[in-house]
A and B are shown apart, each in its own frame.
Chain A
Amino acid sequence: VGGTSAGTSAGGNAGTSGTGAGGTGGTGNPTGYDIPLDGVPINSHYVRLTHQQWENSVRDLLKLTAVPGLASMFASDTSDGMFSNNERRLFVTSTLWADYQRAAEDLAKRVAMDAQARTAIGATGDAATFIRTFGRRAYRRPLEAVEQQRYEALFASAATLYTGGDAFANGVELVIRAMLQSPHFIYRTELGTNEAPLSGYEVASKLSFLLRDTMPDDALFDAAERGDLSTIDGALAQARMMVDSPTAVPVLAKYHNELFGLFRYEGIEKDRTAFPNYQPTMNQAFMDADRMFFDSIFQSGQGLREILLSTKAFVNSAIAPLYDTTANGSGMTEVTLGPERPGFFTRVSFLAYNANLRDPDPIHRGVDMMHRLLCINMVPPPGEIPPLPAAMPGQTNRERVTAHTGSGECAGCHAVSINPLGFSLENFDALGQTRTMDAGKTVNTADSYELASTGIVSFAGAPELMAILAESPDAHACYSRRLGEFVLARDMNETDRQLLNEMLATSTGTAGSIKNMLLAAIRSPRFSTRTGGAQ
Chain B
Amino acid sequence: VKPVRSRINRRAFLRGAGTVAVGLPFLEGVPERSAFAQDDNPVFGLFVVTSCGVVQKPGGGSDPEKFWPTADGPLTTESMNAFAADRCTGILAPHASRLLILRGINYPHRSSGCGHAQGLVQSLTSSQPNGGGNTSTASGISIDTHIAKAVNPQGVEPLALYAGMKGGYINEKVSFSAAGQVRAMEGNPYNVYQRLMGLATPSTGTGGTGGTGGSSGMADQIVLQRKSVNDLVREDMKALLARTDLSSADRMRLDQHLQSIRDMENTIIGMGRGCTLDGLDVQAMEQLKSGNAFRNDSSQEQVSRLQMELAAFAFACNATRVAVLQVGDGTDASRYTLDGQKVERFHYISHRIQGDGTTGAAIPQAVEWHTAIDRIRMEGLKGVLDKWAAYETVGGPLLDRGFLMWTSHVATGPAHSFNNLPIIIAGSAGGYLKQGQFINGGNVTNNRLFNTLATAMGVPTTNFGGSGLTGGELDVIKA
A residues near B135, Cβ cutoff 8 Å: 377
B residues near A42, Cβ cutoff 8 Å: 247, 249-250
- Which of A213-221, A313-321, A352-360, A448-456 lies at the interface? A352-360
CB distance from B5 to the nearest CB of A (A): 24
What per-residue 1/0 map shows which CB atoms of A46-88 lie under 8 Å from chain B? 1000000000000000000000000001011111100000000
Which of A44, A182, A364, A383 is close to B357, meaning CB atoms less than 8 Å apart?
A364
A91 touches B253 (CB 8 A): yes
A192 at the binding interface (Cβ < 8 Å) = yes
B245 touches A191 (CB 8 A): yes
B64 at the binding interface (Cβ < 8 Å) = no
A377 CA to B232 CA, complexed, in Å: 46
B359 touches A534 (CB 8 A): no
Instruction: List 13 A-B pairs, Cβ < 8 Å.
Output: A2-B181, A77-B184, A79-B171, A98-B260, A105-B23, A106-B23, A150-B232, A182-B233, A359-B359, A380-B117, A382-B112, A387-B351, A387-B414
B114 at the binding interface (Cβ < 8 Å) = yes
What per-residue 1/0 map shows which CB atoms of A367-389 lie under 8 Å from chain B? 00000000001111111111111
In the complex, how many residues of chain A place their beta carbon closer than 8 angstroms to a beta carbon of chain B? 86
Known pairs A5-B249, A45-B246, A75-B186; A379 contacts B357 (CB<8 A): no
Q: Tell me how many residue pairs across A and B have CB atoms closer than 8 Å.
A: 230
B residues near A147, Cβ cutoff 8 Å: 236
Residues of B125-148 at the interface with A, using a CB-CB cut-off of 8 Å, are: 132-133, 135
Known pairs A102-B23, A183-B237; A534 contacts B245 (CB<8 A): yes
A162 at the binding interface (Cβ < 8 Å) = yes
A73 touches B194 (CB 8 A): yes
A532 touches B247 (CB 8 A): yes
A251 at the binding interface (Cβ < 8 Å) = no
B residues near A361, Cβ cutoff 8 Å: 355, 359
B183 at the binding interface (Cβ < 8 Å) = yes
Known pairs A178-B232, A263-B167; A46 contacts B225 (CB<8 A): no
A356 CA to B179 CA, complexed, in Å: 36
B residues near A390, Cβ cutoff 8 Å: 361-362
B residues near A193, Cβ cutoff 8 Å: 245
Known pairs A44-B250, A78-B172; A388 contacts B353 (CB<8 A): yes
B383 at the binding interface (Cβ < 8 Å) = no
A116 CA to B194 CA, complexed, in Å: 30
A309 CA to B423 CA, complexed, in Å: 53
CB distance from A48 to the nearest CB of B (A): 9
A106 CA to B22 CA, complexed, in Å: 9
B286 at the binding interface (Cβ < 8 Å) = no
CB distance from B229 to the nearest CB of A (A): 5
CB distance from A397 to the nearest CB of B (A): 9
B292 at the binding interface (Cβ < 8 Å) = yes
What per-residue 1/0 map shows which CB atoms of B233-261 lie under 8 Å from chain A? 10111001001111111101110110111
Known pairs A43-B247, A161-B225, A533-B247; A106 contacts B359 (CB<8 A): no
Which of B182, B224, B254, B362 is close to A78, meaning CB atoms less than 8 Å apart?
B182
A10 at the binding interface (Cβ < 8 Å) = no
Interface of A is mostly: loop
A378 touches B361 (CB 8 A): no
A389 touches B184 (CB 8 A): no
Using CB atoms, name the residue of chain A closest to B251: A534
B residues near A94, Cβ cutoff 8 Å: 29, 155-157, 259-260, 262
A79 CA to B182 CA, complexed, in Å: 9
Which of B184, B232, B352 is close to A151, meaning CB atoms less than 8 Å apart?
B232
A183 touches B254 (CB 8 A): yes
CB distance from B286 to the nearest CB of A (A): 13
A80 CA to B177 CA, complexed, in Å: 14
Most interface-central of A3, A151, A533 (chain B CB within 10 A): A3
A92 touches B257 (CB 8 A): yes
A residues near B356, Cβ cutoff 8 Å: 364
B residues near A249, Cβ cutoff 8 Å: none
B217 touches A163 (CB 8 A): yes
A161 touches B224 (CB 8 A): yes
B28 touches A78 (CB 8 A): no
A residues near B358, Cβ cutoff 8 Å: 363, 381, 385-388, 404-405
A1 CA to B178 CA, complexed, in Å: 8
Using CB atoms, name the residue of chain B closest to A79: B171
Residues of A99-152 at the interface with B, using a CB-CB cut-off of 8 Å, are: 99, 101-103, 105-106, 109-110, 147, 150-151
Known pairs A42-B249, A154-B229, A384-B416; A2 contacts B178 (CB<8 A): yes
B184 touches A44 (CB 8 A): no
B residues near A105, Cβ cutoff 8 Å: 23-24
A residues near B73, Cβ cutoff 8 Å: none
Which of B23, B115, B184, B333 is close to A384, meaning CB atoms less than 8 Å apart?
B115
B247 touches A91 (CB 8 A): no
CB distance from B220 to the nearest CB of A (A): 10
A98 touches B26 (CB 8 A): yes
Most interface-central of A5, A73, A103, A109 (chain B CB within 10 A): A73
Residues of A152-190 at the interface with B, using a CB-CB cut-off of 8 Å, are: 154, 157, 161-163, 174, 177-178, 181-184
A512 CA to B192 CA, complexed, in Å: 47
Known pairs A46-B250, A157-B228, A385-B357; A76 contacts B20 (CB<8 A): no
A residues near B354, Cβ cutoff 8 Å: 356-358
A229 CA to B300 CA, complexed, in Å: 51
A residues near B246, Cβ cutoff 8 Å: 45, 533-534
B residues near A267, Cβ cutoff 8 Å: 165, 167-168, 297, 333
B221 at the binding interface (Cβ < 8 Å) = yes
Known pairs A154-B228, A266-B167; A383 contacts B111 (CB<8 A): yes
Known pairs A3-B181, A361-B355, A387-B358; A101 contacts B28 (CB<8 A): yes
5 nearest A-B pairs in the assembled complex, by CB-CB distance:
A97-B260, A94-B260, A388-B359, A3-B249, A92-B257
Known pairs A97-B257, A534-B246; A358 contacts B191 (CB<8 A): no
Which of B24, B236, B253, B256 is close to A44, meaning CB atoms less than 8 Å apart?
B253
A391 CA to B360 CA, complexed, in Å: 9
Using CB atoms, name the residue of chain A closest to B117: A380
B180 at the binding interface (Cβ < 8 Å) = yes
What per-residue 1/0 map shows which CB atoms of B163-204 lie under 8 Å from chain A? 001011001100001111111111110010011000000000
B residues near A46, Cβ cutoff 8 Å: 240, 250, 253-254
A147 CA to B235 CA, complexed, in Å: 9
A264 CA to B221 CA, complexed, in Å: 47
B113 at the binding interface (Cβ < 8 Å) = yes
CB distance from A505 to the nearest CB of B (A): 30
A1 CA to B253 CA, complexed, in Å: 12
B415 at the binding interface (Cβ < 8 Å) = yes
A residues near B180, Cβ cutoff 8 Å: 2-4
A93 at the binding interface (Cβ < 8 Å) = yes
What per-residue 1/0 map shows which CB atoms of A325-357 lie under 8 Å from chain B? 000000000000000000000000000000011
Most interface-central of B29, B218, B254, B344 (chain A CB within 10 A): B254
Known pairs A78-B184, A150-B235, A177-B229; A98 contacts B20 (CB<8 A): no
CB distance from A17 to the nearest CB of B (A): 15
A183 touches B240 (CB 8 A): yes
B245 touches A387 (CB 8 A): no
B residues near A78, Cβ cutoff 8 Å: 171-172, 182-184
A80 touches B182 (CB 8 A): yes
CB distance from A242 to the nearest CB of B (A): 28
Q: A97-B28, A532-B247 given. 13 additional CB < 8 A pairs?
A: A45-B245, A75-B186, A76-B184, A91-B253, A99-B195, A183-B240, A191-B245, A192-B245, A357-B354, A364-B357, A377-B135, A387-B355, A389-B362
Most interface-central of A95, A150, A267 (chain B CB within 10 A): A95
CB distance from B171 to the nearest CB of A (A): 5
Residues of B285-304 at the interface with A, using a CB-CB cut-off of 8 Å, are: 292, 297
CB distance from B145 to the nearest CB of A (A): 12
A98 touches B359 (CB 8 A): no
A534 touches B29 (CB 8 A): no
CB distance from B263 to the nearest CB of A (A): 11
What per-residue 1/0 map shows which CB atoms of A19-42 lie under 8 Å from chain B? 000000000000000000000001
